[in-house]
Amino acid sequence: MEGINAKYVSQKISKTRWRLVSHSSLQQPDIFATGSWDNEVNKISFWSIGNHGGSDMDDGFEGDPQLLCEYKHDGDVLDLQFLDQERIVTTSSTGAVTIFRHHQNSQTISVSHCWPRAHRYPCDNAPCTGVVCSSPEIVTVGEDGKIIVFRADQEGVIRVIENADSSTIHAVTYLRTTEILTVNSIGQLKLWDFRQQSDAPSQILSLSGDRVPLHCVDRHPNQQHIVATGGQDGMLCVWDVRQGSTPFSLMEAHSAEMWEVHFHPTNPDHLFTCSEDGSLLHWETSTHTDMPSFLQGGRNNSMVSRSAMAPAGGNQSLISAWLSGDSSKGRLETTHMLPSQTLSVNSLDVLGQCLVCGTDGEAIFVNRQVPV
Amino acid sequence: MEEVDVEPAVTNIPAASDAKHLGFAWGPGDILVYETLYKASGAQGSGCSFIHEVRKDEDIYSPNLRKLFNESHHIFVGLQTIREDLPSKNKKPQFVSISKNYRSVIRACMEELQQVAVSTKDAEVATQYGNQVSILLAIELIWNLCEVLFIDAAPAGSLLLHLLDWVRLHKADVDEKATEVLQSESPAEHHDYWDVVVSYVLQGRLEEARQMLVKQATLHPAARNMYKLMDNLLSKMPFYNPGGTQTLTEFDVKWRHWHGEVNRCLQDNSFASNKHLDIICKIIVGDEDTLLEHKELLSTWYHFLVTRLLFSHPTVKPTELHYYAQSCMTMFLDARSVPEPLDNILLAAFEFDIHQVIKECSFGSNLREFLLLEYASGLFTHHSLWQLAVDYFDHCPEFGRVYLELQIEHIPLDTERKALKVLRICEQRQMSEQVRSICKIMAMRALRNNRLGSALSWSIRAKDAAFATLISERFLQDYCTRGTFSDLDLIDNLGPAMLLSDRLTFLGKYREFHKLYGEKRFSEAAKLLLSLMTAKIAPRSFWMTLLTDALPLLEQKEVIFSADQTHELMFCLEELTSSLSHSAAGTDKPTQDDDIEQTKVELLRLALARNLAMAIIKEGTIDA
């Protein structure tokens, strides 16, 4: 496994995220942020892997992440997202939602804004489990079953959906600009449309059979109806939210909870998952022919999907390779990305050709040559 | 590696008042202390309501050492998976490489600590880090020796070479001095010059010694022959080559021959005119007295041991080591000085007494398991490193599981995510008791915060039917008080989880009844309602509610309940009222509630009778 090394950082990493790079430039990402958990004093940190080729590394390997700056964080960092080039939003086990600003010149961090008990119970703290943002809007979800919408520049909350869920909401992602998807601990995928005034989900999807809690969700970057989720039993499910209330395909991915699933943002034939069982998998799907999938519209694909449902509507919509995913047919390749078994891999992020992940073994792995 | 018999450290508890008795209780890694009145009899307790937690300022909380723990854990886990079916001789290189891995991790940690110790301005912190560095240094020294003697188990010939490497690795100041000398203007006239040359010779680095001597030779052309002779002797000293074709005996012969030649030079007084060269000659012939004269350069008795062996007995066998070790130590140390713990450990290693080594390093019995248990228990007290401890416990066949079971329930569970991780650990090891207990804790917490869905999800994970029943009761209570269901998203989507408990099944089915009614599928709703009562899924306490729900169905223009169904309903009503009257028999006077009940029952009877009539007529009518 070339190009992947462990950096031990003396803190269990709960989240890692690459800083966004502008799409116009073809630069590889160079800075990522991490959040820790289960420490007496938790921290958020910014690291650089020096892709700009500026400073030369005196010690360590080329690409060994260097700590730029760090800041104390109250409570476990349960989720972390970049709001823009300089600011990150974090959610805490104390129920707080905080915006931190990274000052690049002085390499310091300051708190830009904080909503201290955004998620709470009447007499207790409720951990805030997930956040997604599309600047300046921020949406958070928590163990109290609430969905809260903030704006980065405003004090109060914009909207609260109380009792959105009777169980814990584990993750949230945008489906469209006004629609979000949440997953909860009774195995349901819920669609919420913010244009509607009512506090009810516009759609509920779930697996028939056991109500296995779902922990992570991600939307296909180009085809907005395709969503992947991962759950407690380590199964990777790919759903088509336009039709049916059950997933299109189910794949056995891991032997323990799957913590994160990510489509590659620019090359969505690649998917990455990480799990409590200490492995990080790279899924690569390929269509039957060598033609890229977007050119196949109009042809009757010979692949039969598991549920054998023809897509609705007269026009043959693009059948994504994911929806026909069937690992037994050998069209789905999976590779382990980490050299050996570690403790739980809690988080991963992939951008361009760079992959970063953090583990409970207090190590960060960076791979700069992901084959996508 | 602390001294065994030292004065115990005194810790003052500043918050406790003077001259008060303190009671205490041991915790997993700390002590809880409280003020108390210690009296034989009479009132106990004191006015102070504080409990103090006293915790040793353990090294495991240092961030640098945490890296050491994590990296060594990674190596440990990898080590355990080495396949058992490999023959031992194939495993040896693997073990050696793993040992080197461990050592490099220790060295890396040491270097980091050293950097921090040097760069910090706080003197106390610097001392603390300095102490840690010296401890790690000693650890690595011992480990290296153990790797040479036990893991690599080098035979005679290679043994000395390995020991030479070991000594060279742990004596870095020679190179520092050499650099200083060489960088000076005239190295041969530097006051440390001869020290450097002698140190090189003592370490068997003859090539470098010769290079240094050349510089001296150029300064004294008159004594050129003498220097040439010395250079010749030094260049001809044979070193055993383990990979070569020469056997040990052949090497021994060659070495004796060379040794004889050096001895002749000494007897001939060839170097008598140059004190330094004379000393060097005596050293390479193995003269103990000369070696002992250079105690400062050797600095440790084990260096003395290795040098002595190099120049007098290079084919030493492992079993002979301890003779030399003991005698060297005695010779080297003054009569007054006492061997330090490190010396004892190394001596034990030379004597191939592994148990003694371990015993000197720690106290107590010498089971690998005991050591792992101790280490892991220590890790478990750490708020974060407990995850590493789990793997160590796994590899303690006798007591590991028991220790783990006891300790795992004490981990504080602040978030669901942490609870999930702990649960996964318990489930993988079939610790079902702990699974149930953890799920119950989380479910109760969820219930207290009115998160019924979360509570249900926890009881499903634990397959806890009793708790599922409890949750269903809550739902039903909510319904009775408010008239509507809360958390419809949960009840509507129970799926197979419904079967976990009867009460839960009833809840699901009751909700289904409501849905059918809402969709105006009355006959199906009616059938369901009836089955709930007749199949005894509904709890008796709820029957009144169900019958009341049946009322609107009975009052419809259309006949919904068939005659048979109406009979059954009546039967249920009778059952209910008879049991009610039984229980009400003891009460004094009818309350208002009883009146309402009575009215309800009468209404029901009327409705049922009317329905029965209509049903009989309908069923008896032949469509024309």
Which string of DSSP letters, residue by residue, matches A175-241? EETTEEEEEETTSEEEEEETTS-SSS-SEEEE-SSS-PPEEEEEE-SS-TTEEEEEETT-EEEEEET
CB contact under 8 A, B453 and A206: no
Is position A43 within any domain?
yes
Give the residue carrying structure tokens 């009512």: A198
Biggest CA pair distance of chain B:
147
pLDDT for the residue numbered A289: 41
Beta-carbon contacts of B112 under 8 Å, excluding residues fewer than 6 positions away, are B64, B67
pLDDT recorded at residue B186: 86
Are the Cβ atoms of B77 and A341 closer than 8 angstroms?
yes
Please state, for a pLDDT cut of 70, what percent of chain A lies above it: 83
What is the least distance, in Å, from the CA of A150 to any CA of chain B?
23
Task: Let me know the angle formed at the C-alpha of B454 by B448 and B456, rounded to the nearest 5 degrees.
Answer: 95
Taking phi over 0 as left and psi of -120 to 50 as alpha, with beta for the rest, A189 belongs to beta
A144 interfacial to chain B (CB closer than 8 Å):
yes
Give the separation between CA B363 and CA B373, rounded to whole angstroms.
13
| Band of residue A293 on the pLDDT scale cut at 50, 70, 90 | very low
Interface touch A143/B70, C-beta < 8 Å: no
Lowest mean pLDDT among A26-35, A358-367, B327-336: B327-336
pLDDT at A312 over 80: no
Closest-CA residue in chain B for A39? B384
Report the complex ipTM.
0.84
Q: How far off is chain A from B101, nearest CA to CA, in Å?
A: 14
Burial class (CB in 10 A: 0-12, 13-18, 19+), A14: buried
Evaluate whether residue A228 is within a structural domain: yes
Query: How far is B32 from B54, CA to CA, in rounded Å?
Result: 6
Decide if B417 and A39 are in contact by the 8 Å CB cutoff: no
What pLDDT score was predicted for residue A141?
Answer: 95
Q: Which backbone phi and psi does B82 adopt, to 5 degrees?
A: -60, 130
Predicted confidence at residue A317, as pLDDT, reads 35
State pLDDT tens for residues B420-464: 999 999 999 999 899 999 999 999 999 888 888 888 888 888 888
Which has more confidence, B554 or A176? Answer: A176
Beta-carbon-side half-sphere exposure of residue B30 (alpha carbons within 13 Å): 14
Q: Is A341 exposed, middle or buried (0-12, 13-18, 19+ CB in 10 A)?
A: middle
Name residues 261-280 of chain A within 8 A of B (Cβ): 276
Locate B65 and state its tokens: 């050492």
The Cα–Cα gap between B415 and B606 comes to: 56
Quickly state the pLDDT bin for B306 (edges 50, 70, 90): very high
Mean pLDDT of A55-65: 56
Q: Which residues contact A216 (CB under 8 A, 6 or more apart)?
A: A170, A171, A183, A229, A230, A258, A259, A260, A261
Name chain A contacts of B415, Cβ cutoff 8 Å: 76, 78, 93, 127, 143
pLDDT at A326 over 60: no
* Cα diameter, chain A: 62
Q: At A141, which helix (H) or strand (E)?
A: strand A137-142
pLDDT of amino acid B362: 59
Tokens 């508890």 belong to residue: B13
Q: How far is B600 from chain A (nearest CA, A)?
A: 34
Cα–Cα distance, B425 to B552 (Å, whole number)? 53
Nearest to B416 among A163, A168, A188 (CB): A168
Strand-pair partners of A15: A35
Domain-located, residue A292: no
Give Cβ neighbours of residue A312 (< 8 Å, ≥ 6 apart): A242, A243
* A168 → chain B, closest CA residue: B454
Which range is least confidently modeled, A157-166, A221-230, B79-88, B191-200? B79-88
Contact between A91 and A133 under an 8 Å Cβ cutoff? The reply is no
Per-residue model confidence as pLDDT tens digits over A338-349: 887 789 999 999
**pLDDT > 90 in chain B, percent:** 17
Question: Which amino acid, B252?
Answer: D
The torsion defined by the Cα of A359, A360, A361 and A363, in degrees rounded to 10, comes to: 40
More confidently predicted of B539 and A56: B539
Interface membership of A186 toward B (CB under 8 Å):
yes
Q: What's the pLDDT band for B29 if we cut at 50, 70, 90? A: low
Task: State the alpha helices, DSSP H only, in chain A.
Answer: none
Residues A146 and B450 sit within 8 Å (Cβ to Cβ): no
Dihedral over Cα of A243, A246, A252, A256: its sign: positive
Cβ atoms of A139 and A149 within 8 Å: the answer is yes
| Chain A interface disruption, residue of B68, B384, B422, B427, most A CBs within 10 A | B384
Give A321 or A111, the one with higher predicted confidence. Answer: A111
Q: A39 pLDDT exceeds 50?
A: yes
- Tokens for B543? 């029957």
Poorest-pLDDT segment among B15-24, B114-123, B200-209, B563-572:
B15-24
- With contacts defined as CB-CB under 8 Å, which chain B residues touch A78? 415, 417
Amino acid (one-letter) located at A264: H
User: How far is B590 from A166, CA to CA, in rounded Å?
Assistant: 41
| A23 found inside a domain | yes
Q: Is A111 helix (H, G, I), strand (E, B) or coil?
A: strand
Q: For residues A8 and A299, which has the higher predicted lDDT (pLDDT)? A: A8
Window from A255-259, B140-144, B570-574, B585-589 with minimum mean pLDDT = B585-589
Residue A297 pLDDT: 40
pLDDT reading at B569 higher than 50 = yes
At B555 the pLDDT is 82
pLDDT of residue B83: 61
State the DSSP string of B56-108. ---GGGSHHHHHHHHHHHHHHHHHHTS-TTS-HHHHHHHHHHHHHHHHHHHHH
Q: Which two tokens stand for residue B222?
A: 């008159």
Are A124 and B451 an interchain contact pair (Cβ–Cβ within 8 Å)?
no
User: Half-sphere exposure of residue B84, counting CA atoms within 13 Å on the CB side?
Assistant: 0
pLDDT score recorded for residue A62: 62
pLDDT per position as a tens digit, B464-513: 888 888 888 888 888 888 877 777 777 777 777 788 888 888 888 888 88
- Considering only residues A247 and B197, tell me which one the structure prediction assigns the higher pLDDT: B197
In a domain, A298, yes or no: no
Structure tokens at B235: 């260049």
- What CA–CA distance (Å, rounded) separates B109 from B167? 21
Instruction: Provide the domain count of chain A.
Output: 1
Give the three-state DSSP class for B533: helix
In residues, how long is chain B? 624
- Hey, what amino acid is at A321? A
The model's pLDDT over B174-206, given as tens digits with 9 standing for 90+, comes to 888 899 888 888 888 888 899 999 999 999 999
On whether the CB atoms of residues B167 and B148 are closer than 8 A, the answer is no
Would you state the pLDDT for residue B507? 86
The predicted model scores a pTM of: 0.76
Highest mean pLDDT: which of A203-217, B27-41, B335-349, B483-497? A203-217
Backbone angles phi, psi at B570, to 5 degrees: -60, -40
Min Cα–Cα distance to chain B from A18, Å: 23
Nearest residue, CB atoms, A76 vs list B74, B387, B415: B415
Range of the domain at A239: 4-51+61-285+322-367
Query: Where residue B42 falls among pLDDT bands split at 50, 70, 90?
Result: low
CA angle A137, A143, A145 (to 5 degrees): 70
Lowest mean pLDDT across A130-144, A150-164, B41-55, B84-98: B41-55
Instruction: Please state, rounded to an integer, the average pLDDT across all residues of chain A.
Output: 83
Query: What is the rounded average pLDDT for all residues in chain B?
Result: 83
Domain annotation covers residue A308? no
| pLDDT at A59 (0 to 100) | 42
pLDDT digits (tens, 9 = 90+) for B409-427: 888 888 899 999 999 999 9
Give the H/E segment covering residue A280: strand A280-285
To test the contact with chain B by mutation, choose from A80, A124, A167, A207 the residue with the greatest count of B C-beta atoms within 10 A, namely A167
- The C-alpha torsion from A304 through A310 and A314 to A315, rounded to 10°, is -40
For testing contact with chain B, the best of A257, A362, A364, A365 (most B CBs within 10 A): A362
Q: Give the nearest partner residue to A8 out of B70, B460, B494, using CB atoms.
A: B70
pLDDT of B6 > 60? The answer is no
Main-chain dihedrals φ then ψ at residue A145, nearest 5 degrees = 75, 15
Q: What is the pLDDT of residue B46?
A: 59
- pLDDT confidence of residue B586: 52
* Neighboring chain B residues of A124 at a CB cutoff of 8 Å: 448-449
Chain-centre distance for alpha carbon B438: 20
Report the 3 state secondary structure along chain A.
CCCEEEEECCCEEEEEEECCCCCCCCCCCCEEEEEEECCCCEEEEEEECCCCCCCCCCCCCCCCCEEEEEEEECCCEEEEEECCCCEEEEEECCCCEEEEEEECCCCEEEEEEEECCCCEECCEECCEEEEEEECCEEEEEECCCCEEEEECCCCCEEEEECCCCCCCEEEEEEEECCEEEEEECCCEEEEEECCCCCCCCCEEEECCCCCCCEEEEEECCCCCCEEEEEECCCEEEEEECCCCCCCCEEEECCCCCEEEEEECCCCCCEEEEEECCCCEEEEEECCCCCCCHHHCCCCCCCCCCCCCCCCCCCCCCCCCCCCCCCHHHCCEEEEECCCCCCCCEEEEEEECCEEEEEECCCEEEEECCCCC
* A126 and B CB contact within 8 Å: yes
Q: Do B454 and A166 lie within an 8 Å CB cutoff?
A: yes
How far is A341 from chain B, CA to nearest CA, in Å?
A: 8
C-alpha to C-alpha distance for A215 and A218, rounded to whole angstroms: 11
pLDDT of B245-263, one tens digit each?
A: 888 899 999 999 999 999 9
- SS3 readout for B410-449: CCCCCCHHHHHHHHHHHHHCCCHHHHHHHHHHHHHHHHHC
pLDDT exceeds 60 at position B22: yes
Once rounded to an integer, what is the mean pLDDT over residues B301-317?
91
User: Which residues from B are below 8 Å from A when comparing CB atoms?
Assistant: 63-64, 66-67, 70-71, 73-74, 77-78, 383-384, 387-388, 414-418, 420-421, 424, 428, 448-454, 456-457, 460, 486-487, 489-490, 493-497
Q: Which of A11-15, B285-289, B353-357 has the lowest mean pLDDT?
A: B353-357
User: According to the model, what pLDDT value does residue B523 have?
Assistant: 85
Query: A10 with A327: CB under 8 angstroms?
Result: no
CA B155 to chain centre: 36
What CA–CA distance (Å, rounded) separates B182 from B196? Answer: 10
Q: Which residue has the tokens 């035979």?
A: B155
Q: What is the CATH number of the domain that holds A110?
A: 2.130.10.10
User: What stretch of H or E contains B462?
Assistant: helix B452-462
- What are the domain boundaries of chain B? 61-153, 165-316, 366-410, 412-519, 540-581+591-623
Query: How, if at all, do strands A77-82 and A66-73 pair?
Result: unpaired
